[in-house]
Amino acid sequence: MTDWQDMIVGDRMAVDGEFDPRVDDSRFTRQEWGLIMTATTFEIENPEDGGAAELVANTEELRGMMPEIEKVAEMDPMGGNPADDPDSGGGVFGSILGALGLGGDGGGPGGVDEEKLEAAEALVAEYAAELQVHLESQGRWDEIRAEAAAE
């Protein structure tokens, strides 16, 4: 995490709370949203230009996480696998590690629901826009943008 990203941790927590109703109205559960956000990083495009600077979501890792998001979606509300397969792997934690290429099958493009991926990317883009609006309304955007430009 870069310095400017460290500077917005509290702002992200505030926006998370404000954004919860939007997540609730989406096709994603809170658990799925957590995985989506785990696979997302934020960048500031054109940080040196106050008029063109924009906070954007980098979702390059999201495609690899989608199979794991699907597994979470298929779990019953108590966290169990509906197939109740003891050989299915190391649970959600093992699934996350696999999606990140740290074990298991590593996810991959096969079997990715493109419509769900696009919905996740759109929701993350909405979150990034909301975060930027929050930073601007708190009078912090110029400070954050300047820090990003200095890096």
pLDDT tens series, the chain, 151 aa = 559 999 999 999 999 999 999 999 999 999 999 999 999 999 999 999 999 999 999 999 999 999 999 888 887 565 555 444 444 445 666 666 556 655 544 444 457 899 999 999 999 999 999 999 999 999 999 999 999 999 8
Per-residue pLDDT, 72 = 85
Structural domain that includes position 8: 3-150
- Give the orientation angle of helix 114-137 with respect to helix 30-38, to 10 degrees: 80
Residue count of the chain: 151
Per-residue pLDDT, 85 = 47
Per-residue pLDDT, 108 = 44
Enter the pTM of the model.
Answer: 0.77
How many domains, in total, are found in the chain? 1
54: helix, strand or coil = strand
Contacts of 59 (CB under 8 A, 6+ apart): 39, 40, 120, 121, 124
Per-residue pLDDT, 73 = 81
